[in-house]
Structure 1
Amino acid sequence: MPPILLHHPHPWNVTPAEAIAIQQALRGHVLAEDQLPPDISTVAGVDVGFEDGGKITRAAVAVLDYPGLALIDQAIARLPTAFPYVPGLLSFREIPAVLAALEQLDTLPDLILCDGQGYAHPRRFGIACHLGVLTGIATIGVGKSRLVGRHGELAAEKGAWVPLEDKGEIIGAVLRSRAGVSPLYVSIGHRVGLSTALDWVLRCTGRYRLPETTRHAHRLASG
């Protein structure tokens, strides 16, 4: 597969202040409405782990067919970790390795579920937004914990959700992906509206709390 054509390339060797400026410049390119491929046949999970005491970033991409959700392609990339751990700037630490992993795939997926935030971010530009804007691939943020925002009480049954709000704006949703377990924090990444993002997270979720995309990618990233 030829290298990914990045829509808005930028340097990665930057200071935290420069990284924030890049986020603020690129967030206006996020498409918050549905612009998905007409027939989605592949969905992917992206997860990132670290090796050697954090010196090596290990990014994993797992591609599943849809609707069967069987693993059909996978890739792992390892790069030296070049950006410090700064809350709200994790995409600068993780995306270079994610891009390297995506370039190893035989076929790019139609939709990517990122293990992390999308629009539910202090500057409305988490890793799912960043990756989607760079690659043009439709993306959804599926976080295991809340980064920002508040929400009301959530019912216990699978599929229940409530809005996640911050400063008077709905920035995502809190979703019960399995009855009686801790919720997921879903937000748009790029080219997907929030209701569609919730629908796809549930479509990709089986018997477990996490979507199958995330479960496969997590095994690769931490294996």
Structure 2
Amino acid sequence: MTPLINHAWDITPDEAITLQLWLSKRVVRVDELSTVSKIAGIDVAYHKQNATVVASIVVVDAETLEVVERLAYSDVALFPYLPGLFSFRELPAIIKLFRNLQTRPDLIICDGQGIAHPRRFGLASHLGVLFDIPTIGCGKSRYVGDYTPPAVARGSLSYLVDGTEVIGAALRTQENINPVFVSIGHKVSLETACHWVLKATRHYRLPETTRLADQYGRHFHENG
């Protein structure tokens, strides 16, 4: 897999913000995905002592959640660690990872934000626009916006709102467990995004795609 849009990565934070604002106009917020048979989860882990990042992806069968393919790639992050600009630090490694991916997923669930972002262009949206692939943002925590805690039952949700704009949902994936924060990445509506996050979540708070990508990334980092 190679990106359909290429841009410079050796840029300043101000240039990155300008680029986000420009690319955010390309985000498609309605469903433009066909039959979903393969779902991927992406995770990026940081080394505690240096600038090393490990990007990992696990592709699973959409119905059984059995692993079809998994890959990891270690790289050195060159962009500074700045809130709101994480995709400029993480995507170079993800792009290199994708070069060796044999299975093109129909949908990618990212451990991060989509349009639930100050400039409506978090990692999931950035990835989706560059590769023109359906993506979902599924964050462990809220980045921007306000919400009312959803009901305690699995599948309950409440909208995440920034000003007057709905930018995502707080989704309860397990009963009485803290919600995850789901947002449109690219080519997926919020309703569909919540459907697939819930479908990919079986026994834990996070989707299996995220858990498996995180586990494989840790294994790769520890064992090489």
TM-score range with shorter-chain normalisation?
over 0.9
Partner of 1:92: 88
Q: In 2, Cα distance between the equivalents of 1:119 and 1:97?
A: 21
Q: 1:102 aligns with which of 98, 105, 126?
A: 98
Does the 8 A contact of 1:54 with 1:81 survive in 2?
no
How far residue 7 of structure 1 moved from its aligned partner, in angstroms, is 2.6
The one-letter code of the counterpart of 1:143 is: G
Q: Which residue of 2 aligns with 1:18?
A: 15
The equivalent position to 2:148 in structure 1, one of 140, 145, 152, is 152
2:149–2:170 CA contact under 8 A, matched in 1: no
CA distance in 1, matches of 2:50, 2:184: 28
Residue 217 of structure 1 pairs with residue 213 of structure 2: yes
Q: Which runs of 5+ in 1 are unaligned?
A: none
Where do 1:23-34 residues align within 5 Å?
23-34=20-31
Correspondence for 1:140: 136
Q: Report the Cα distance in structure 1 between the residues aligned to 2:17 and 2:115, rounded to whole angstroms.
A: 15
Q: Look up the SS of the partner of 1:54 in the other structure.
A: coil
Would you say 1:66 and 2:62 are equivalent positions? Answer: yes
Provide the rounded CA distance (Å) in 1 between the counterparts of 2:214 and 2:179.
Answer: 18
Alignment of 1:98-137 (within 5 A): 98-137=94-133
Q: Work out the CA distance in 1 between the residues paired with 2:163 and 2:50.
A: 34
What is the letter of the counterpart of residue 92 of structure 2? P
Count of residues in correspondence between the two structures: 219
Q: Please tell me whether the aligned partners of residues 59 and 70 of structure 2 are also in contact (alpha carbons under 8 angstroms).
A: yes
Do the aligned partners of 2:136 and 2:184 also contact (CA within 8 Å) in 1?
Answer: yes
CA distance in 2, matches of 1:168, 1:175: 19
Show structure 2 runs of 5+ residues with no match: 220-224
Superposition TM-score, scaled by structure 1 size: 0.96
**Within 5 A, what are the aligned runs for 1:47-58?**
47-51=43-47, 53-58=49-54
Could you tell me the TM-score, scaled by structure 2's length? Answer: 0.95
**Deviation digits for residues 163-189 of structure 1, max 9, x if unmatched?**
000011000000000111111000000
* Distance across 2 between alignment mates of 1:196 and 1:52: 36
Q: Quote the Cα distance in structure 2 between the aligned partners of 1:14 and 1:51.
A: 23
Per-residue deviation, 1:137? 1.0
Q: 1:63 and 1:54 mapped to 2: Cα distance? A: 28
Instruction: Using the TM superposition, give the Cα deviation of residue 52 of structure 1 relative to its aligned residue in structure 2, in angstroms.
Output: 6.1
Quote the Cα distance in structure 2 between the aligned partners of 1:165 and 1:208: 26
Amino acid corresponding to residue 150 of structure 2 in structure 1: L
Given that 2:42 and 2:110 are in contact with CA atoms closer than 8 Å, whether structure 1 keeps it comes out as yes
4+ runs of 1 displaced by more than 3 Å? none
